[in-house]
Structure 1
Amino acid sequence: MPARELQEQLNTLREQLEQNPPLNEDERKNLHELMAQIEAQIELETQVQNSSLSDNVNLAVERFEIDHPTLAGTLRNIVQTLGNIGI
């Protein structure tokens, strides 16, 4: 189930953040806000398009891809899963 995959990827991102990568306060806050949005979307389990969530995650990928490629890779997986479930 794609929602399960998304939850697993979100858990991976959470684990990566617990390893305290060198992020400033704004970066960490932004990721936590995105995670909350993703979790809310999972809870709703709706097929309603929410392009702003995908856009926000894509922006985070761009922001982190150079300095934090592991986080960016996980975020890319989240974007793909969001697309697969129609979000």
Structure 2
Amino acid sequence: MPDREKLQQQADIVREQLENHPELPAEKRQALEELIAKFEVQLEMEPATQTPSIADDVNRAVEGFELDHPGIAGTLRNIVLTLGNIGI
């Protein structure tokens, strides 16, 4: 599977996980939704115009979800790995 398709699939998984965790605090939910939206905008861009900061943003999100929601953190880690594989 091409990396871009894999990234979109992972973003969809994060959205699904959000639906399955209604107990998430509103601020965490909103931050993650904003991150995924930003991430999807980056997916539409050509690799040369993508910013490496998106990987930093996803890494920060991993830290915020590691303890309470390891499934979401794991999916976010997969996104970071895939971003690294395509040079972002």
| Structures share fold, TM-score greater than 0.5 | yes
Matches of 1:80 and 1:28, distance apart in 2:
22
Structure 1 segments (4+ residues) deviating >3 Å: none
For these two proteins, the number of residue pairs brought into alignment is 87
Q: How does 1:26-37 map to 2 (within 5 A)?
A: 26-37=27-38
Letter aligned with residue 21 of structure 2? N
Work out whether residues 49 and 86 of structure 1, in 8 Å CA contact, stay in contact via their aligned partners in 2.
no
Matches of 1:26 and 1:71, distance apart in 2:
15
The aligned counterpart of 2:11 is: 10
Letter aligned with residue 46 of structure 1? P
Structure 2 stretches lacking a partner, 5+ long: none
SS where residue 66 of structure 1 aligns? coil
Q: How does 1:57-72 map to 2 (within 5 A)?
A: 57-72=58-73
TM-score w.r.t. the length of structure 2 is 0.91
Matches of 2:10 and 2:37, distance apart in 1:
13
Matches of 1:49 and 1:82, distance apart in 2:
10
Structure 1 stretches lacking a partner, 5+ long: none
Work out whether residues 47 and 86 of structure 1, in 8 Å CA contact, stay in contact via their aligned partners in 2.
no
Deviation at 1:49, TM superposition (A): 5.1
Structural RMSD (CA): 1.2
Greater shift in the superposed pair: 60-69 or 49-58: 49-58
Matches of 1:76 and 1:45, distance apart in 2:
22
Identity between Structure 1 and Structure 2 (%): 54
The aligned counterpart of 1:78 is: 79
Deviation at 1:79, TM superposition (A): 0.5
* Post-superposition CA distance 1:28-51 (Å, at most 9, x none): 011011101110011113234522
TM-score w.r.t. the length of structure 1 is 0.92
